[in-house]
């Protein structure tokens, strides 16, 4: 599986008459992990929902391509959003098409990839928050996406689970090399996972700053080089129109 | 698991046995008390037997009607017209309710009229039905259908309207068609409300079959009630009431069982079992670090 190339050109989004995003332009190369950070209410999720096709832009264009083909896009939301009337494996198979045995087999493989193979037959209500979010991750993986959109996917789990899930995303990325656009308000999460961080800010939101995190994976959370990058990011978040920075 | 268990769970096995015994005896306590008061009222002559016959007499009347095949005949007449009326009301109600929930146009077209009909007490339509359709089976079935229609429609509409938008977004994000989102997300998500409506509709269907048979019928349990009153046979009236109670209880229990089966995924006090008891292995296999 390969990643998709993402190109966003002068994107503007208005919701209920209120401009949310203004002149947003960025690109992601195939297999790149791009993090978008910003304070609450900036419009990060709106940007991701626009990329997912859930919000129509007012102006501008989004191009997501896998070579000459249209890329497959999968989304993991902040909440697991599992369908409570389907068992765990059925929830994963839900987004697939084709004959039932093949779907079941692929769902089982996706569950194994997120280490939930023993939970296929149970109901979503019986899962913990972290397990439910991993099921949502399996549901995204099962479609073999070229672009994985993550909308603060680990915001609602405890710190330890969050770290485990982050490692899991890194592991899956190593296996599949899909392009990732991750929306988060957690600077450390952005630095740990991303190749590049975009800082969104202002009303309506624009890209305020961009930071390269050119470090190989797997990374250590206590790596001084990584920790040194917190400063320019915090500065960019606090200061409108900060200059571009790079690290590594 | 019931709310009481959730609030006051105890681990003591002796107390658990005691509670199990209480659970068996408790539902019978009130009917037995009523029977006792009934006996006492007759014994002390607070009421006359022609007003309220002894429980034994009611039982005899029940047995006598059964032996003659009379009760079965009336039961069959009442049940068949209830089922016919219920299906005639509930099936379109589900379809129209879902349609109105899904489409603003359908809703704008049907809802004001249905709300207008809802404002009229259903029995007020009886004279009109009798004028239009005559004193016959059709007017009775139509009255039952009208009674069943409204709660089913209202619940189906509320069910579709109440579907979590975020779940619909999952379908959209993964490229499901509108039809697939409707059948695979909206309908299952609104099923609890639809089933609640179907149960409410069924109890109203039983209410309306009595009304229909009291007004104009030559058979059925409602007819038996009127006949018992006219012939001064309170034992037959009470036997009919018991038969109604049995029919209502059995049909509601059947629908309740379907509801529990269809909604076993729900994490509610009425349906859920504690996760640690149902599936201990996958959860405990996660260990202490994993969520």
Residues A49 and A31 in one domain: yes
Greater pLDDT, A242 or B100: B100
CATH number of residue A191's parent domain: 3.40.50.300
Whole-number Å distance between alpha carbons of B271 and B263: 7
User: What is residue A241's predicted lDDT score, i.e. its pLDDT?
Assistant: 54
Least confident of A80-84, A164-168, B152-156: A164-168
The total domain count for chain A is 2
- Report whether B129 contacts B143 (CB < 8 A): yes
pLDDT band at A3 (very low <50, low <70, confident <90, very high): confident
Residues A21 and A59 in one domain: yes
- Tokens representing B180 are 């697939």
Residues A52 and A139 in one domain: no
Per DSSP, the residues of A66-127 read ETTEEPPEEEE-SS----TTS-HHHHHHTT--S-HHHHHHHHHHHHHHTT-GGGTTS-GGGS
Of A123, A143, A163, the one marking the end of a domain is A143
pTM of the model: 0.79
> Would the CB atoms of A86 and B166 count as touching at under 8 Å?
no
What CATH superfamily classification does B54-268 receive?
Answer: MetI-like (1.10.3720.10)
B272 part of contact set with chain A, CB < 8 Å? yes
Residue A26: CB partners within 8 Å, gap ≥ 6?
A: A6, A8, A34, A198, A207, A210
B285 part of contact set with chain A, CB < 8 Å? yes
ipTM above 0.85, yes or no: no
- Average pLDDT of A175-194? 89
Cα torsion for A82, A88, A89, A91, to the nearest 10°? -10
The percent of residues in chain B predicted with pLDDT above 70, rounded, is 88
Q: Is the dihedral of CA A28, A31, A37, A40 positive or negative?
A: positive
Q: Omega into B110 within 30° of 0, i.e. cis?
A: no
On chain B, the residues whose CB falls within 8 A of the CB of A75 are 170, 173-174
According to DSSP, residue A209 is labeled E
Q: Nearest residue on chain A to B267, judged by CA atoms?
A: A125
- Average pLDDT of B255-263? 90
On chain B, the residues whose CB falls within 8 A of the CB of A123 are 265, 267
Whole-number Å distance between alpha carbons of A201 and A157: 25
Residue A111: CB partners within 8 Å, gap ≥ 6?
A: A88, A89, A92, A117, A119, A120, A135, A138
Residue A20 has, within 13 A of its CA and on its CB side, a CA count of 20
List % helix, strand, coil for chain A (3-state, nearest 5).
35, 30, 35
- Report whether A123 contacts B154 (CB < 8 A): no
User: What is residue A96's predicted lDDT score, i.e. its pLDDT?
Assistant: 84
Helical axes B221-230 vs B70-102, angle rounded to 10°: 130
Q: Shortest CB distance from B290 goes to which of A122, A123, A130?
A: A130
> Would the CB atoms of B172 and A161 count as touching at under 8 Å?
no
Alpha helices in B134-233 (DSSP H): 137-161, 165-173, 178-181, 187-215, 221-230
On chain B, the residues whose CB falls within 8 A of the CB of A84 are 265-267
Which of B165, B192, B274, B290 should one mutate to test binding to chain A, selecting the residue with the greatest count of A CBs within 10 A?
Answer: B290
Q: What is the pLDDT of residues A25-67, one digit of tens each?
A: 888 888 899 999 988 888 888 999 998 888 888 888 888 888 7
- Report whether B267 contacts A125 (CB < 8 A): yes
Of A143, A164, A191, the one marking the end of a domain is A143
Residues A51 and A167 in one domain: yes
Q: Tokens 């200061």 appear where?
A: A239
Cα torsion for A145, A146, A151, A155, to the nearest 10°? 70
Residue A76: CB partners within 8 Å, gap ≥ 6?
A: A133, A136, A137, A140, A148, A149, A150, A151, A153
User: What is residue A42's predicted lDDT score, i.e. its pLDDT?
Assistant: 85
Residues A150 and A139 in one domain: no
Instruction: Indicate the domain borders of chain B.
Output: 11-46, 54-268
Residues A202 and A182 in one domain: yes
Domain span including residue A223: 5-72+146-247
- Tokens representing B20 are 């199990």
- Rounded to the nearest angstrom, the minimum Cα separation between A56 and chain B is 13
List of long-range contacts for A16-21, beta carbons under 8 Å, 24+ apart: A19/A58, A19/A204, A20/A46, A20/A204, A20/A205, A21/A46, A21/A47, A21/A50, A21/A57, A21/A204, A21/A205, A21/A206
Residues A109 and A128 in one domain: yes
Residues A46 and A166 in one domain: yes
Residues A153 and A231 in one domain: yes
Residue B186 has pLDDT above 50, yes or no: yes
Whole-number Å distance between alpha carbons of B9 and B183: 40
Residue A151: CB partners within 8 Å, gap ≥ 6?
A: A45, A48, A49, A75, A76, A77, A78, A183
Residues A20 and A52 in one domain: yes
Q: Shortest CB distance from A81 goes to which of B170, B191, B267?
A: B170
Residues A118 and A156 in one domain: no
On chain A, the residues whose CB falls within 8 A of the CB of B278 are 122, 126
Residues A166 and A228 in one domain: yes
């Amino acid at each position: 599986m390969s990643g998709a190339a993402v190109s966003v050109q002068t994107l503007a989004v208005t919701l209920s008459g209120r401009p949310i995003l203004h002149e947003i332009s960025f690109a992601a190369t195939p297999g790149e992990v791009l993090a978008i950070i910003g304070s609450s209410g900036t419009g990060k999720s709106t940007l991701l929902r626009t990329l997912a096709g859930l919000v129509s832009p007012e102006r501008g264009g989004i191009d997501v391509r896998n070579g000459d083909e249209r890329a497959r896009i999968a989304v993991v939301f902040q909440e697991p959003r599992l369908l409570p009337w389907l068992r765990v494996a059925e929830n994963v198979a839900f987004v697939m098409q084709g004959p039932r045995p093949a779907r079941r087999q692929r769902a089982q493989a996706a569950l194994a990839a997120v280490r939930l193979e023993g939970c296929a037959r149970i109901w979503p209500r019986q899962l913990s928050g972290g397990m439910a979010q991993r099921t949502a991750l399996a549901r995204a993986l099962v479609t073999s996406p070229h672009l994985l959109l993550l909308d603060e996917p680990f915001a609602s789990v405890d710190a330890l689970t969050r770290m485990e899930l982050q490692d899991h995303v890194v592991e899956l990325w190593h296996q599949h090399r899909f392009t990732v656009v991750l929306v988060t308000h957690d600077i450390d999460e952005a630095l740990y996972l991303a190749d590049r961080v975009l800082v969104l800010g202002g009303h309506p939101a624009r890209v305020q700053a961009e930071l390269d995190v050119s470090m190989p994976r797997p990374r250590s959370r206590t790596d001084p080089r990584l920790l040194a990058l917190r400063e320019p990011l915090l500065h960019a978040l606090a200061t409108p129109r900060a200059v571009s920075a790079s690290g590594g | 698991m019931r709310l009481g268990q959730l609030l006051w769970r105890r681990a003591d096995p002796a107390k658990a046995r005691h509670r199990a015994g209480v659970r068996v005896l408790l539902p019978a306590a009130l009917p037995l008390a009523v029977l006792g008061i009934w006996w006492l009222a007759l014994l002390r002559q607070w009421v006359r037997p022609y007003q309220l016959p002894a429980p034994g007499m009611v039982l005899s009347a029940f047995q006598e009607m059964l032996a003659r095949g009379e009760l079965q005949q009336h039961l069959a007449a009442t049940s068949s017209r209830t089922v016919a009326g219920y299906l005639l009301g509930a099936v379109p109600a589900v379809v129209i309710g879902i349609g109105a929930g899904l489409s603003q146009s359908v809703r704008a077209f049907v809802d004001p009229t249905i709300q207008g009909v809802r404002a009229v007490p259903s029995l007020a339509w009886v004279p009109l039905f009798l004028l239009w359709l005559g004193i016959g089976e059709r007017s009775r079935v139509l009255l039952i259908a009208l009674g069943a229609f409204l709660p089913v429609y209202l619940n189906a509409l509320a069910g579709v309207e109440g579907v979590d938008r975020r779940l619909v977004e999952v379908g959209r994000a993964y490229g499901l068609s509108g039809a697939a989102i409707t059948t695979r997300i909206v309908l299952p998500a609104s099923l609890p409300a639809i089933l609640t409506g179907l149960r409410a509709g069924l109890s109203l269907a039983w209410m309306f079959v009595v009304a229909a048979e009291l007004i104009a019928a030559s058979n059925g349990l409602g007819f038996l009630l009127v006949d018992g009153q006219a012939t001064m046979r309170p034992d037959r009236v009470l036997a009919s009431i018991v038969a109604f109670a049995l029919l209502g209880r059995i049909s509601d229990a059947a629908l309740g069982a379907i509801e529990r089966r269809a909604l076993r995924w729900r994490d509610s006090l009425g349906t859920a079992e504690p996760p640690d008891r149902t599936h201990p292995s996958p959860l405990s296999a996660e260990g202490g670090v994993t969520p």
